[in-house]
Amino acid sequence: MASTTGNDPETTADPLAVAICRRENDLRTDRGTWESYVQDIARHVLPNRAIFREEVTEGVERNRMVLDSTATWALYIFASSIHSLMNNPANLWFKLRIAPSAGADPYMDQDASVRKWLEDVAKLIWTEMASTRVDLYSHLHTLYLDLGAFGSGCLYEDVSDEGHIRIRAFHLKEVVWDTDADGQVNAVFRTLELNAVQAKAFFPDQDLGRTIMECRDPTRKFKFVHAVFPVGSKYDLGKEMGDHKDLANRPFASVWCTETPKRVLSVSGFNEFPYQVPRWSVVTGERMGRGPAMNVMPNVRMANRVKETLLRGAEKLVDPPLRITDGSLVSPVRLFPGAITFTEGDARIDPMIPPGASRIEVGEAILRNEQEAIKSGFFVHLFQTPDSPVKTATQVLQEVDERNRALTPMLVRLQNELFSRLLARIFGLMNRGGRFPPPPPVLDGVPLVAEYVSPLTGSQLQMEGLGVLRIIEGLLPWAQIDPGVFDAFDPDEVAKVVHGASGAPMSIMRSPQKIRELRKARMEQQQQAEQFQTLIQAVEAGAKVQAAQPKPGGR
């Protein structure tokens, strides 16, 4: 039951809104230290998003603290390379497969009708994500920048009023999240600050209360909270749903509420979790992720410090402080650029810093070392081919293997926390919208999974295919001595591994039934040929026997 103060509806507090605002405030308080940390990171690495702990006037310069831009440049190379290697919009970077389960036919997706439906649906999803109204790929790039700088990102998928899927990347300042016992994100609280005019447009059919509805000050902002969390006992807020529980009626509740007064504006639900919160890496016990920028922050600070020292030293060399003799004036020693120090003595002008005293090259060497460490921290050396002589195929494969081993742990986390959930969400939205052709009857109730075929994951499969080809190549000389050396290998499995490594479409592969029919027909033809050859040999043998018999009347 809602608590009230007097009879003023403006002071009425809904228990669900109270619980949501309390949980959002607790989560934001818990990550206060993290926000201070990433604010410092943003100032040095991603200045345009340095608004965690300070308000920035629109249009103001935001990179005042950046003297050495190596980290900023390396972060953009990192985000662009991850984007192109994993989600290149020009290529279909995923496929749909039958999820392995007990009792399921592992070769079901090799049936012609099933395979065609899976490929058609994958292309429809890929086409939808590439459309300008969805705008996935520009928001993915923003997400990768956040991952590289802050170790976490936030993506949101929903349907607009016109029925179109829309995807947006939110600044981490707006969202906080909670995790379950397994450390997986299961609840997100997004804070939205709007003035009265914006609030009326954003919530056109809701009673926002007298305070907001009658506000005429365009500079006054009101705080709104959007909470998405599991319904029921899976999350603590389930018990505060009360009369709103039936309104959600879906696995995940969606609640909009105001902070002052604490009142619920709308309650609905989602079939899939609409917020994707991937993390680059996670320390045990922490909700927030940690990214490459956090590993190189000592180098970033040192590079900025050395760059500042080098600039001061270079300025002194270009405009050195001078010493001028003056019999009537003596001044303190001044060593800043262009300074003049008056002394007694002979009438002459001497530089305060003699040539060769400033070892600029020492500072430049230190700066280069720090810059290389920053580039390595963002994996730039794995994404860009350095200037070098022509490389052999073995050297190229070794570089690909080094990149895979360095990025595989984070790649697996991105697949689990971002791509799998993103594709499941978009698949659900399009399926409920009637955007797919009717599936074959054999797929009724069969779960599907996504298989990623991006260049980065494809290079991992290529290593398997190349390994198979190396084995075959190495055994060919032995096969000339003993052909049975290949009996240990299954030709069908070899063909599957090599095909998977090639990235070629499944449409070029025959189904198991067609393979059985083809082999049966080949065996029958071989048997007929053997029978025909046996018949010919029998006829020839009979002719020879008949020719060897003596003719009648002969001696």
Residues 209 and 328 in one domain: no
Q: Is 502 a member of any domain? A: no
Q: Collapsing DSSP states into helix, strand and coil, what is residue 224?
A: strand
Reply yes or no on whether the pLDDT at 191 is more than 90.
Answer: yes
What does the pLDDT read at residue 352?
Answer: 61
pLDDT digits (tens, 9 = 90+) for 59-95: 777 888 888 999 999 999 999 988 888 888 888 888 8
The letter for the amino acid at 168 is R
The last residue of a domain, from among 383, 404, 428: 383
Reply yes or no on whether the pLDDT at 5 is more than 50.
Answer: no
Distance (Å, whole) CA 109 – CA 98:
6
Reply yes or no on whether the pLDDT at 34 is more than 60.
Answer: yes
Q: Is 278 a member of any domain? A: yes
What average pLDDT score do residues 3-23 get?
70
pLDDT digits (tens, 9 = 90+) for 492-551: 777 777 766 665 666 667 767 777 788 788 888 888 888 888 888 777 777 777 777 666
Q: Is 202 a member of any domain? A: yes
Distance (Å, whole) CA 196 – CA 219:
9
Residues 360 and 286 in one domain: no
Residues 184 and 234 in one domain: yes
What does the pLDDT read at residue 88?
Answer: 83
Reply yes or no on whether the pLDDT at 121 is more than 90.
Answer: yes
Residues 278 and 312 in one domain: no
What does the pLDDT read at residue 2?
Answer: 39
What does the pLDDT read at residue 317?
Answer: 74
Greatest mean pLDDT range, 6-20, 212-226, 500-514, 517-531: 212-226
The band of 176, judged by pLDDT with boundaries at 50, 70 and 90, is very high
What does the pLDDT read at residue 39?
Answer: 93
Question: Which residues is 177 bridged to in the sheet?
Answer: 188
Do 287 and 49 touch, CB atoms closer than 8 A?
Answer: no
pLDDT digits (tens, 9 = 90+) for 286-341: 899 999 999 999 999 999 999 988 888 777 777 677 666 665 555 666 666 656 66
Say which residue, 9 or 388, is predicted with more confidence: 388
Residues 177 and 36 in one domain: yes
Q: Is 124 a member of any domain? A: no
What average pLDDT score do residues 357-369 get?
82
Say which residue, 252 or 341, is predicted with more confidence: 252
What does the pLDDT read at residue 542?
Answer: 74
How many structural domains are present in the chain? 2
Q: What's the number of CA atoms in the CB half-sphere (13 Å) around residue 509?
A: 21
Residues 180 and 223 in one domain: yes
Q: Is 459 a member of any domain? A: no
What does the pLDDT read at residue 93?
Answer: 87
What does the pLDDT read at residue 369?
Answer: 93
Reply yes or no on whether the pLDDT at 248 is more than 60.
Answer: yes
Reply yes or no on whether the pLDDT at 404 is more than 60.
Answer: yes
Residues 261 and 329 in one domain: no
Task: Report how far apart, in Å, the C-alpha atoms of 73 and of each of 148, 208, 332, 365, 371 are.
Answer: 12, 45, 43, 20, 11
What does the pLDDT read at residue 262?
Answer: 86
Residues 171 and 201 in one domain: yes
Q: What is the mean pLDDT of the chain?
A: 81
Residues 167 and 278 in one domain: yes
Of 272, 83, 24, 17, the closest CA to residue 159 belongs to: 272
493-520: string of b/e by CB count within 10 Å (b at 16+)? ebeebbbbbebeebeebebeeeeeeeee
The last residue of a domain, from among 361, 383, 405: 383
What average pLDDT score do residues 228-232 get?
86
- Tokens coding 208: 């926002």
The band of 7, judged by pLDDT with boundaries at 50, 70 and 90, is very low
Q: Is 137 a member of any domain? A: yes
Expressed as residue numbers, the domain containing 326 is 295-383
Reply yes or no on whether the pLDDT at 6 is more than 60.
Answer: no
Burial class of residue 542 in the structure, from the number of CB atoms within 10 Å of its CB (0-12 exposed, 13-18 middle, 19+ buried):
exposed
Residues 332 and 260 in one domain: no
What does the pLDDT read at residue 387?
Answer: 60
The band of 4, judged by pLDDT with boundaries at 50, 70 and 90, is very low
Low-confidence winner among 134-143, 166-175, 334-343 (lowest mean pLDDT): 334-343
What average pLDDT score do residues 196-214 get?
87
Greatest mean pLDDT range, 44-53, 408-417, 481-490: 44-53
pLDDT digits (tens, 9 = 90+) for 335-361: 666 566 666 665 555 666 666 556 778
Distance (Å, whole) CA 152 – CA 179:
14
* Cis bond before residue 477 (omega within 30° of 0): no
The last residue of a domain, from among 292, 322, 347: 292
What does the pLDDT read at residue 188?
Answer: 95
Of 358, 357, 363, 328, the closest CA to residue 343 belongs to: 328
Residues 170 and 142 in one domain: yes
Residues 168 and 232 in one domain: yes
Strands 222-230 and 275-276, bridge-based pairing: unpaired
Of 4, 158, 90, the closest CA to residue 455 belongs to: 90
Strands 175-179 and 165-169, bridge-based pairing: unpaired
Q: Is 73 a member of any domain? A: no
Q: Is 81 a member of any domain? A: no
pLDDT digits (tens, 9 = 90+) for 141-160: 999 999 999 999 999 998 87
pLDDT digits (tens, 9 = 90+) for 445-482: 888 888 887 666 655 566 666 677 777 777 788 778 87
The band of 140, judged by pLDDT with boundaries at 50, 70 and 90, is very high
What does the pLDDT read at residue 308?
Answer: 87
Distance (Å, whole) CA 192 – CA 202:
11
Reply yes or no on whether the pLDDT at 57 is more than 90.
Answer: no
pLDDT above 90 covers a percentage of the chain that reads: 31
